[in-house]
Structure formats: structure tokens, C-alpha cells
Amino acid sequence: MPVPPLRVAVLISGRGSNLQALISAQRSGELAIDIVVVASNRAAAEGLRHAEAAGIATITLDPGCMPDRARYDAELFARIAAFSPDLIVLAGFMRVLDAAVLAPWAGRIINVHPSLLPKYPGLHTHRRALEAGDPIHGASVHFVGAELDAGPLLARTEIALEPGDSAETLAARLLPREHALLCRCVQWIAQGRVQLRGSTVHFDGTALSEPLRV
């Protein structure tokens, strides 16, 4: 009997390039997923236009409409839950989520971040890597915890810094690798190869001692 595609919800705040990578991989048949909804905290987020063009349902909820973060997160996730996703992907969603709203989704919510976590959580990761003189930079996918860009790491991709790199050139070189990393991680989850047990990520039934490399 055919296995139904993984139902995925994607949260964004900006241009949605990682979302577009997932949409393209779904359309090509590379990913056996069904992106059921795209949600954003910003009505002007460009990524919402990608979703609309692909015929995907969208949710926009302005944080200013709620009295505090906890109630905002609860309302947003209640609307997302109505689409019955199997997996939630944070793809440039620029908010730290309340622990209470994350708890029911433990092991079913991931984030992609443009640094080799735990280095450089938060913003301006490319500039910070350059300022630190790092020889290697990259992107990470992790299961989401209640702290900023925290939670068990699943996989990462790495690139070497080059002479003359700026934050802009570094970001441009990393972005295609970041897209590939996210798509691969979602593929593994859709195939049932990845599970989070407690705080440990398992791949093909084996506990990971370090993130997988893509």
C-alpha cells in the first residue's frame, strides 16, 4: 500500500528561498512531501507569494494582534495544527517560540540556520564568521528547542571561506548548499530514517554522536 506523502507546514518571515527549494523539490518528485500550509508573522514576506503561486494555503498572523508572545504562539500553532502537518519546518522564521507551544511538537519541528551551530545563533552569521577569522562556515538543521537556534543537531553543510569574501559573497555561496541541506533532511524524515529520542537524534536506528554532513 503506498505511503502517503509527509504533510509539511513551513514558517517564514522573509524572502522564502528555502521554502521555494522545498516547493521545487516537491514538484520534481525529489521529495515525497505535501506542503499543506505556509505561515508567516509578516504579511509582506516575499515567501508568501511563492506559496500562493504554488497553490499552497497561507496563514499570516501579526504579532501586534496579541498581548504577549505566549498567546501569539498558541494562536499561530492552533491555526497550523488545523492543517494536520506531520512536520513543521522553520525556514527563516525570525521568532523564538514559546516552550509550551513547542512541547506537543517535540521531534516534529526543525529549523535551518546559516551557521555551524552552536556557533553564531541569531542574526548576521556570515559577518560574524568573517570577523572571527573562521576558516570554515556553513549551515545547520536542528530539532527546535525553546532557546534561540538551539536543539539537537541533525545535519550540517560546510564551505571554506575564501580570500576577499564579504558577508554578501559568503551568503551567496552558502545558500545553494543550505537549500540542499534542508531538502535532504526533510527527505530523510519523510523516509522515516530520522527520529528524535529524548535529546538524541537517531539515523537509521543509530544514535548520532555528531551531526550528519551533507
Hey, which residues are catalytic here? 113
CA distances from 2 to 5, 32, 192 (A): 9, 11, 14
- H/E segment holding residue 90: strand 87-91
**What is the three-class DSSP state of 66?**
coil
* In the chain, alpha helices (H): 17-28, 47-53, 69-81, 99-102, 125-131, 167-190
Q: What count of residues does the chain have?
A: 214
* Nearest residue to 97 (alpha-carbon basis) of 123, 76, 66: 76
